[in-house]
Amino acid sequence: MKPPPLLVHVTVLLGAAFAAAYAAAAAGPQSDPAPQRKHELVNLVRQDCGSCHGLTLSGGLGPALLPHTLADKPLDSMVATVMNGRPGTAMPGWSRFMSEPEAEWVVRALMDGFPQERGAQ
């Protein structure tokens, strides 16, 4: 007895999705954004994030985003917060404005000490 065609298609699609996810995870961290995009991301963080987290990122409505305040936070959790926000708080998700690898670059840059100038490191 043959399996129903829909079941075969779903199985193939799920297999492909799992293979793609595994390959992405095995590839490790994504490469840094291009220099122009880094510049744009720095401006976004300084202007938009700074409106709640403070212009020097030392806190305001939102918590401080400084290396010593982020040191004990899991990277993947902070990337998820950047991408999806925090429901019930003023923290919006930024997934419409940046990709997940870009969000990871931003979080890593914040953990290392974010650029003071509006250029990129």
Write down the pLDDT at residue 9. 46
> In this predicted model, what pLDDT tens digit does every residue of 39-85 receive, in sequence order?
999 999 999 999 999 999 999 999 999 999 999 999 999 999 999 99
Decide: pTM greater than 0.75.
Answer: no
b/e map of 11-31 (b: 16 or more CB within 10 Å)? eeeeeeeeeeeeeeeeeeeee
> In this predicted model, what pLDDT tens digit does every residue of 9-40 receive, in sequence order?
444 444 444 444 444 444 445 578 999 999 99
